[in-house]
Structure 1
Amino acid sequence: MNIAKRGLPRMHRKGAFGHTLRAVKINSDWTERLEGDSLRYTAIAALGLSYIDRGTQQLILNGDTAFDLAHACAVRATTSADMGAIALAAWAAAEAGRFHSVALFRQLVQVLSSDTPIATVDCAWALSAALAARQFGDTQDVVSLATKRLMSGRSASGLFPHMLPASASGRFRAHIGCFADQVYPIQALARLYTARSDVEALSAAEACAERICALQGPAGQWWWHYDTRNGGVVEGYPVYSVHQHAMAPMALLDLREAGGTDHSQAIIKGMRWLDEHPEVSMPLVASEKGVIWRKVARREPRKVVRALSAVTTSLLRGWHVPGLDMLFPPVRIDYECRPYELGWLLYAWLAGGVVARLSPGLTADRPAILKEI
């Protein structure tokens, strides 16, 4: 969390957050360069920053607070066509900005009630946003529509596809769901259970969490691409640091707080990979720079292994071209870091109690979990 507090100021400029802080070589020296701009990442940063003290928020945001940032995101999102950005901005508006953005939820209703295919991640974010905002206004339409869409995508294996409907991903990718396609539904459905006592939602979250934990790598790796048909791994790499330190803990802790299964040991195992990764010897955590390097990936041209694995498993479940690990070993570190990674890190470990606020009488136990871990 201290790394996040050091790194986020380097990624902030002009009231928003950039897309990527990338290591670059200038002459003979290495430094980091901030590239691009991202509304999605700015909204996630607002969510994470809202759980640290106001003074630190102002140091990171040049005098502003997460409240200010969330309000700015909401205004900016009203002209966006990106459903994911709209959902995240609405979520940040509710949780960090403490208000219900009528305009953003109106946009979400339009998309969710249409026949347009929707990314699973975007749908899960819309549900989380609606649950967060319901204390400030009526979000029932979004809750119902997002729940229906999300639940329609769950497979017999417990896993979720990349798109809703899955067929929107195309013939060779319809069976694939990435790690993000699992954790955000787990989080949203766990919160839905606490808000509405939706037993079916909790069951879906439990099944998905159980499957990804069963598939976790021997060194704690949270793998990247899954086969929703048989619940297997299509392609493990890259392994992303944010999955290890933020996204898996965030979803699995929410599930536990909602009364679901305790997956603390899987969380601990995943965190340990940051220091004890067998793929490479170089460190992933660069504390002095305020970054955690993004991922460990294969040495391969143009993501060839993922493409081959998608095609072969689409033709025959579980079929992988032999020798890929030898031909394309996972020995490359991606020397970049993105603000959403540090935003989710803060949110995952400081946002205990969010689930409890959705259901009167429920007690959050994240401090106990932190102590245990």
Structure 2
Amino acid sequence: MSNAGGQDVVAPRSVAASGVMGNSPLVNYALSGLQKCWLPDKQRWSHIYHLDGRENPNESVPHSDVFYSLNVLLGMSRIRAVPQAINIPEVFSTNVDLLTRLPVPTYAFGMALWAAAKLKLEVPFSVSKVIRQLLENRGRWTTFRAQDLGMLLIGIVAQAVEGRTEFSHHAALLFNFLSESYATDSALFCDTATGFRRRFASFATQTYLAIACYSYGEFAGEPEAIELANSCVRRLIELQGPQGEWPWFFDAKRGEVVDFYEVYSVHQYGMAPALLEFAERHNVEGATKALVKGFNWIFGENQLRRSMLLPASQLSYRSQVRVNELHSKDRRVVRAVANAYLGRKTQLIPPASLTLRMECRSYELGWILWSFGERYDLDQLTHNLVFSSALR
């Protein structure tokens, strides 16, 4: 990683000793892992850090690198101390400027709004122009995937909270669209407003739309939005696996799991805790218990009975996946569709049929920063010995 003067910073275990002692061991673990994902010539974090022993483990996919880097910067907005080697305004500017020149997904623009608001930085005019076009073309809203809609609404609300009201008049309209087109009687959210794909929703679908509802509800004083999010969280807690697994794929129409796999580490230690922090604030019963149970999955309380952490490198394995689906999702899609239309509930499979996905992605570590940068009440997680020992 390079500092503002361009000088390389190479010591991977230097985080705990370089002026960031105000952070928890968990946060410093994630920061140290992020050093390995850093691409100094591009001023961003990589798409994938491969854990299979290859000579050059970082794989760059520019449009994904850029989105992941904004996600990491969002996480840094909540930590007590940022490593001196990271020039946040410079990294933000370098990456946000690329949003209009790379084939980024729509939700990347929502992340730009969210990160800029939390970091108190300005969104470039060229990026604001694209966002304005997205929001003013109401006919295009029906093409939004859940992550697009969720992140745009979260970002708009985050901007409004900071007094930046350029897009705030769209917030109520977006929430109404969410409520009318993505909410269901099952309490789970759909992935799209129309079409075959609509009822097949991921864990990410639930996370982003529920956080959007919480964010809008708190900002606008809208109890309907809070209750939509609370209902979703209650159903997710009911569907959480016996060892804390957050299922990957749902039939939103029935409110059931159609496939548990892959079980992703980022859901266990990052995205679920981000959502459950809101749920705790709104007194959803069992939210804290579900958060801790899900995180303990990372420590080895899972089907493979192994830690998902790599203390020597301060990274984590991406997921536990079916052995025969490591390189293709086709079987997963067929199984999920069949389970949905036949009304079947899915089950966990024998551990012998599972393996690890040997990679780590920078945004996963960014979610740790966001979800635990301001938590001081879960020492059994944030100060677990595995994190403090890894940084000695």
Q: TM-score range by the shorter chain?
A: 0.7 to 0.9
Q: Which of 151, 168, 175 lines up with 1:147 in the alignment?
A: 175
Matched residue, 2:156: 130
Aligned partner letter, 1:344: W
Aligned partners of 2:30 and 2:365 also within 8 Å: yes
Relative distance call for 1:137 and 1:125 in structure 2 (3 A) is same
Matched residue, 2:45: 17
Counterpart mapping for 1:28-107 below 5 A? 32-37=57-62, 38-53=65-80, 56=83, 58-59=84-85, 61=86, 64-65=87-88, 67-80=89-102, 82-99=105-122, 103-107=126-130
- The Cα offsets for residues 304-334 of structure 1, whole Å up to 9 and x where unpaired, read as 44222222134322266x9x946x9542101
Aligned partner letter, 2:191: H
Distance 2:82 2:152 in 1: 30
Alpha-carbon shift at residue 140 of structure 1 (Å): 1.6
Q: Which of 236, 239, 263 lines up with 2:287 in the alignment?
A: 263
Relative distance call for 1:87 and 1:141 in structure 2 (3 A) is same
Q: Which of 99, 114, 119 lines up with 2:138 in the alignment?
A: 114
Distance 1:175 1:99 in 2: 37
Relative distance call for 1:118 and 1:211 in structure 2 (3 A) is same
Distance 2:264 2:353 in 1: 12
Aligned partners of 2:187 and 2:235 also within 8 Å: yes
Aligned partners of 1:77 and 1:104 also within 8 Å: yes
Identity of aligned residues (%): 25
Aligned partners of 2:182 and 2:191 also within 8 Å: no
Relative distance call for 1:3 and 1:55 in structure 2 (3 A) is closer
- The Cα offsets for residues 209-263 of structure 1, whole Å up to 9 and x where unpaired, read as 0011100000000000011111110000110001000100011102323565560
- Tell me the secondary structure at the aligned position of residue 242 of structure 2: coil
- Flag structure 1 segments of 5+ consecutive residues without an equivalent: 353-365
Alpha-carbon shift at residue 160 of structure 1 (Å): 1.1
Query: Scaled by the length of structure 2, what TM-score is found?
Result: 0.80
Distance 1:9 1:254 in 2: 29
Aligned partner letter, 1:154: A
Higher relative contact order (CA 8 A, sep 6+): 2
Aligned partners of 1:87 and 1:125 also within 8 Å: yes
Q: Which of 367, 370, 373 lines up with 2:378 in the alignment?
A: 370
- Tell me the secondary structure at the aligned position of residue 234 of structure 1: strand
- Tell me the secondary structure at the aligned position of residue 356 of structure 2: strand
Alpha-carbon shift at residue 270 of structure 1 (Å): 0.3
Q: Which of 6, 29, 45 lines up with 1:3 in the alignment?
A: 29
Relative distance call for 1:201 and 1:80 in structure 2 (3 A) is farther
Distance 2:353 2:191 in 1: 24
Distance 1:330 1:179 in 2: 22
Relative distance call for 1:202 and 1:53 in structure 2 (3 A) is closer
Alpha-carbon shift at residue 149 of structure 1 (Å): 2.9
- The Cα offsets for residues 128-187 of structure 1, whole Å up to 9 and x where unpaired, read as 111111124212233134313322201111111222x141xx3xx432110000011121
Q: Which of 333, 337, 343 lines up with 2:356 in the alignment?
A: 333
Alpha-carbon shift at residue 283 of structure 1 (Å): 2.9
Aligned partners of 2:248 and 2:263 also within 8 Å: yes
* RMSD, aligned α-carbons: 2.5
Matched residue, 2:264: 240
Distance 2:285 2:356 in 1: 33
Relative distance call for 1:275 and 1:111 in structure 2 (3 A) is same
Aligned partners of 1:244 and 1:273 also within 8 Å: yes
Distance 2:244 2:233 in 1: 15
Aligned partner letter, 2:198: A
Segment drifting more, 233-242 vs 1-10: 1-10
Distance 1:110 1:148 in 2: 19
- Tell me the secondary structure at the aligned position of residue 206 of structure 1: helix
Relative distance call for 1:179 and 1:319 in structure 2 (3 A) is closer
- Tell me the secondary structure at the aligned position of residue 156 of structure 1: coil
Aligned partner letter, 1:222: W
Relative distance call for 1:372 and 1:186 in structure 2 (3 A) is farther
Counterpart mapping for 1:186-335 below 5 A? 186-258=210-282, 261=285, 263-301=287-325, 302-318=328-344, 325=349, 330-335=353-358
Matched length? 342
Aligned partners of 1:86 and 1:108 also within 8 Å: yes
Alpha-carbon shift at residue 191 of structure 1 (Å): 1.5
Matched residue, 2:6: none
- Tell me the secondary structure at the aligned position of residue 318 of structure 1: coil
Aligned partner letter, 1:149: F
Which runs of at least 4 in structure 1 moved beyond 4 Å after TM superposition? 100-103, 258-262
Distance 1:317 1:124 in 2: 28
- The Cα offsets for residues 320-365 of structure 1, whole Å up to 9 and x where unpaired, read as 6x9x946x95421011000100001100112x4xxxxxxxxxxxxx
Aligned partner letter, 2:360: C
Aligned partners of 1:275 and 1:283 also within 8 Å: yes
- Flag structure 2 segments of 5+ consecutive residues without an equivalent: 1-26, 382-392
Aligned partner letter, 1:107: V
Relative distance call for 1:132 and 1:101 in structure 2 (3 A) is farther
